[in-house]
Amino acid sequence: MPKQAYVNGRYLPHGEAAVHIEDRGYQFADGVYEVVPVASGALVDEDLHLDRLERSLGELHIDMPMSRTALKLVSDELMRRNRLSNGFLYMQVTRGVAPRDHKFPKAAKPALVMTTRQTKPHSPQMLAEGVTVITLPDIRWKRCDIKSVSLLPNVLAKQQAVDAGAYEAWMVDEEGKVTEGTSTNAWIVTKDDKLVTRHANNAILNGITRISLLRLAAEEGVEFQERPFSVEEALEAREAFITSSTNFVMPVTQIDGKPVGNGHPGLLTARLRAVYEGYATGPEGNA
Ligand code: PDD
């Protein structure tokens, strides 16, 4: 059976699945999304992702397209149809279809699309070497806490990273402090072994991996601080890494061409990755 997608009530072959040309997601980026990791055949932190979906929609005054229970049923059914064991589930909700007009339409119904992607585990080489990042000015809007499908600055920054031979771009605010990556949260481990990641407010997306990792770090007795850090501080740090649903915990070993610490993935990073992997693939993360 070819891979399927869910589009507004129907399961369709992925290649034939389509939305209306007047979907406001297409016209205005008037919608939000979630990327939920799938490990060992189960969704990781599904409830936290649905909480964030509900919050993002609420901030935009878009109704949930269906109940949480129904969303879970559709996700499970799509994963079953696609025999998804490892990868992610993508969910997108837009304000729906209406003649193009900036103001909210009166009668539009939220549109829901779900797709899945099977992925390979992260390559051992990537984990052993770590990845490289460049830094760029953060040119995004002031509501980065909403997981909006409006991702143009992120797309442009990611392409600049790729063009520079890097894996990710860290965006930097007007005070010289790192906000986050184009699709990841940014972390450092200081010389005195403090784990640091920016506090969650309107300047960043509060990553679900970030939330779970902070909880796991606390359980492990790892001290952390939620505060902004500068590019200079990151360059003086012992370790750096990024987190996301697609990267889990990924070591960063170079920033703007300069090595972080000794230029190799750090010990705490490796420990936190192992702890997170255990959580994501175990019963706790899939509860
Ligand atoms: N991105 N910051 C931004 C801007 C993001 O887009 C993401 C996720 C994160 C990490 O969030 P989480 O831990 O919940 O995945 C941080 C997804 C993976 C994406 O756009 O593909």
pLDDT at 287: 60
On whether the CB atoms of residues 255 and 219 are closer than 8 A, the answer is no
Q: Which of 103, 147, 158, 191 is catalytic?
A: 147
CA 128 to ligand 1 center in whole angstroms = 23
pLDDT at 284: 75
On whether the CB atoms of residues 149 and 31 are closer than 8 A, the answer is yes
Closest CA to 172 of 133, 225, 146, 210: 133
CA 218 to ligand 1 center in whole angstroms = 22
CA 190 to ligand 1 center in whole angstroms = 24
pLDDT at 54: 98
Q: What's the one-letter identity of residue 87? A: G
pLDDT at 56: 98
**Does residue 147 have an active-site annotation?**
yes
Which residue has the CA at smallest separation from atom 19 of ligand 1? 183
Q: 119 to each of 12, 70, 86, how far by Cα in Å? A: 21, 26, 6
pLDDT at 94: 98
pLDDT at 285: 76
Q: What is the per-residue burial (b if ≥16 Cβ within 10 Å, else e) of 130-152?
A: bbbbbbbebebeeebbbbbbbbe
Paired sense of beta strands 248-255 and 131-137, if any: parallel
**Mean pLDDT for back-to-back runs of 10 residues, the chain (287 residues):** 94 97 98 97 97 98 98 98 97 98 96 97 95 98 98 98 98 98 98 97 98 98 98 98 98 98 97 98 79
